[in-house]
Amino acid sequence: MRHLLRVGVAGLGTVGLAVLALVERQAASLKARAGREIAIAAIAAKERKERGRDLSAFQWFDEPAKLAASPDIDLFVELIGGADGAALSAVEAALSSGKSAVTANKALLAKHGMRLAELAERNGVALGFEGSVAGGIPVVKTLREDLAGNAISRVYGILNGTCNYILSRMEAEHLPFGVCLAEAQKLGYAEADPSFDIGGADTAHKLSILTALAFGTRVDPEAIAVEGIKDISLADIDAATELGFRIKLLGVAERTGAGIEQRVHPTMVPRSSAIAQVMGVANAVTIDADAVKELTLIGPGAGGEATASAVVGDIVAIARGLRTPPFGVPAAALKPLARAPIQMHEGGYYIRLSVYDRPGAAAAIAARMAERSISLESIVQRRPPGEYEKPAAVPVILITHATYEKLIREALAAVVGDGFLAEPPQLIRIERG
């Protein structure tokens, strides 16, 4: 049996403490699985404070980079967070000193993934990041290793538990967005500044990592078209229910004739689909491939135990001697990724308009759509319940057949210019499965 693997952990938040507990609790099992003993030898954090457990048995480092370069550890785990600063310098220090590193930091990988992958390969060490996407769901290993014999056409999913929780609560309890967001913050699912989650940036970072793994491209979150969920209203939730859909924030990467199309946006998905059943803070990832057809992975997308499970899985793989290129192929072989135009959307679109109740308004809207050959499946005027007097504006819902995003946006811009709308239009893509 090989010698002890000494692990250094930087960052003692929820995930870091869960990693310490998991390695301690599963020590015998990990030894059997890895063929060697695994132990936490040293730790690092910004400040020495009470953390609910005795940490005196571990060697303490005040600076993560010093821990990463220390000869007293064999593998470095970064759980600090942030795209730059201490997290970046510490991972670089570990890889440069010939140590493998494990991180759950999607922001770090989205910004510096290529550079870190090249550094790991140059020094003959591993860079594990299973915990960076979808928490405890083993999607990184699935794409990088288990589906190596497949040509992947699309990968998409629910990648942010905060947004999924908010949308689930809005539907289940008919509560407005602001109330559900406040509850998410109270429960610790959302930060005091939730813009990174509800604006879609967190999902975009994770999607950029999945895209690189699925399609052999360079990690580039700037190539992703991003929309968040802050404009989703109860009117949209109710309309989705009536139409047989649920609204989910999806990250989608798809191979098209023009390249790899990447997008993050609210989407109406059929209530009968597997991804529509994923409620609360759970995540789900669906992979479309030629050999396995459709594969959906569902599980906890965040939380100390779930992410710690992924981190420890990486530690065991490295302990066994696995040295796979971080993104499945050598970093030098990863192709540059240009932003591909959003293609024909096969599921069509849901459009909600608040239309002034004036003669000719409906005909003008239909004409603007027809000018761009946009075929309408249905037009529904929804007078608000309990309205006995004629309102100044009424909700009108349009469902289109398949069309191009560019044409839809041009038509809506023209409708806005005609002056018939009381507020900006709402546009949500429909995925029919």
Please list the pLDDT of the chain residue by residue as tens digits (433 residues).
468 999 999 999 989 999 999 999 999 999 999 999 999 999 998 877 777 788 888 999 999 999 999 999 999 999 999 999 999 999 999 999 999 999 999 999 999 999 999 999 999 999 999 999 998 999 999 999 999 999 999 999 999 999 999 999 999 999 999 999 999 999 888 888 899 999 999 999 999 999 999 999 999 998 899 999 999 999 999 999 999 999 999 999 999 888 899 999 999 999 999 999 999 999 999 999 999 999 999 999 878 899 999 999 999 999 999 889 999 999 999 998 777 777 767 779 999 999 998 888 888 999 999 999 999 998 887 665 555 455 678 889 999 999 988 899 999 999 999 999 999 999 999 987 6
* 309 assigned to some structural domain: no
Domain that holds residue 287: 147-300
Q: Looking at the structure, do residues 95 and 156 belong to the same domain, yes or no?
A: no
Q: Looking at the structure, do residues 160 and 291 belong to the same domain, yes or no?
A: yes
Nearest 5°: the CA angle 424, 429, 433 is 165
The CB density around residue 70, as the number of other CB atoms within 10 Å, is: 20
Q: Looking at the structure, do residues 156 and 243 belong to the same domain, yes or no?
A: yes
| Structure token digits, residue 391 | 């309102």
pLDDT tens for residues 351-400? 999 999 888 888 899 999 999 999 999 888 766 555 545 567 888 999 99
Q: Looking at the structure, do residues 35 and 95 belong to the same domain, yes or no?
A: yes
pLDDT tens for residues 230-240? 999 999 999 99
Catalytic residue among 99, 106, 206, 248: 206
Q: Which of 300, 332, 355 is the last residue of a domain?
A: 300
**Rounded distance between C-alpha atoms, residue 168 and residue 393, angstroms:** 29
Tell me how many domains the chain contains. 3
Radius of gyration of the chain from Cα atoms? 24
Contacts of 92 (CB under 8 A, 6+ apart): 65, 116, 119
SS3 of 292-343:
CEEEEEEEECCCHHHHHHHHHHHHHHHHCCCCCCCCCCCHHHCECCCCCCCC
Question: Domain containing 411 — which CATH number?
Answer: 3.30.70.260
Q: Looking at the structure, do residues 296 and 183 belong to the same domain, yes or no?
A: yes
Q: Looking at the structure, do residues 152 and 295 belong to the same domain, yes or no?
A: yes
Q: Looking at the structure, do residues 252 and 193 belong to the same domain, yes or no?
A: yes
The CB density around residue 401, as the number of other CB atoms within 10 Å, is: 13
pLDDT at residue 1 in the model: 47
Q: Looking at the structure, do residues 159 and 268 belong to the same domain, yes or no?
A: yes
* 370 assigned to some structural domain: yes
- 206 in active site: yes
* 319 assigned to some structural domain: no
* 311 assigned to some structural domain: no
* 79 assigned to some structural domain: yes
* 108 assigned to some structural domain: yes
User: Please, is 59 exposed, middle or buried when counting C-beta atoms within 10 Å of its C-beta (0-12, 13-18, 19+)?
Assistant: middle
The CB density around residue 14, as the number of other CB atoms within 10 Å, is: 16
